[in-house]
Structure 1
Amino acid sequence: MTDTVVVIYSGGMDSFTLLHKAIAEGHRVHALSFDYGQRHVRELECASLVCRELAIPHKVIDIRALNAVMAGSALTGDLAVPEGHYEEDSMKTTVVPNRNMILLSLATGYAVTVAAQAVWFGAHGGDHAIYPDCRPEFVEKMDAVCRIANYQPVAIAAPFIRASKAEILGEGLALGLEYSQTWTCYNGRAKACGRCGSCVERREAFAAHGLRDPLPYEEEA
Structure 2
Amino acid sequence: MPHSSESTAVIYSGGLDSYTVLHRALREGLNVHALSFDYGQRHRRELDVATHVCQALSLPHQVVDIRAIHGLMDSSALTNSQYDIPSDDYASETLAATVVPNRNMVLLSLAIANAVNIGATRVDYGAHGGDHVLYPDCRPAFVDAMNQVAGIANFTPVTIHAPYLYASKADIVRDGLAMGLDYAHTWTCYEGKTLACGVCGSCRERLAAFAQNSVQDPLPYALSSPGNS
Same-fold call, TM > 0.5? yes
Q: 111, 115, 120: which is aligned to 1:116?
A: 120
Comparing 208-217 with 134-143, greater Cα deviation is found at 208-217
Instruction: State the shift of 1:212 in Å.
Output: 1.1
State the SS of the aligned residue for 2:175: helix
* 2:56 maps to 1:53: yes
Q: 177, 181, 184: which is aligned to 1:177?
A: 181
* Pairing of 1:75-86 with structure 2 (within 5 A): 75-77=78-80, 78-86=82-90
Distance between the aligned counterparts of 2:136 and 2:5, measured in 1?
32
Distance between the aligned counterparts of 1:103 and 1:41, measured in 2?
16
Instruction: State the shift of 1:70 in Å.
Output: 0.9
Distance between the aligned counterparts of 1:201 and 1:73, measured in 2?
19
* 2:213 maps to 1:213: no
Matched residue type, 1:63: I
> What TM-score do you get using the length of structure 2 for normalisation?
0.95
Identical aligned residues as a percent: 56
- Please give the root-mean-square deviation of Cα atoms over the aligned residues, in Å: 0.8
Structure 1 runs (4+) deviating above 4 angstroms are none
In structure 1, the partner of 2:13 is 10
* Pairing of 1:7-46 with structure 2 (within 5 A): 7-46=10-49
Instruction: State the shift of 1:2 in Å.
Output: 3.5
In structure 2, the partner of 1:200 is 204
Distance between the aligned counterparts of 1:219 and 1:103, measured in 2?
32
In structure 2, the partner of 1:65 is 68
> What TM-score do you get using the length of structure 1 for normalisation?
0.98
State the SS of the aligned residue for 2:193: coil
In structure 1, the partner of 2:134 is 130
List per-residue Cα deviations over 1:70-125 (Å, max 9, x = no partner). Answer: 12000000210001112100010000000000000000110011100010100000
List per-residue Cα deviations over 1:141-199 (Å, max 9, x = no partner). Answer: 00000110010101111110000000000110011000000000000111111111110
Matched residue type, 1:15: S
Q: Which runs of 5+ in 2 are unaligned?
A: none
State the SS of the aligned residue for 1:147: helix
State the SS of the aligned residue for 2:152: coil
Q: 92, 95, 99: which is aligned to 1:91?
A: 95
List per-residue Cα deviations over 1:36-69 (Å, max 9, x = no partner). Answer: 0111100000100000111110000001110111
Matched residue type, 1:75: L
Distance between the aligned counterparts of 1:9 and 1:206, measured in 2?
21
* Equivalences, count: 221
State the SS of the aligned residue for 1:33: strand
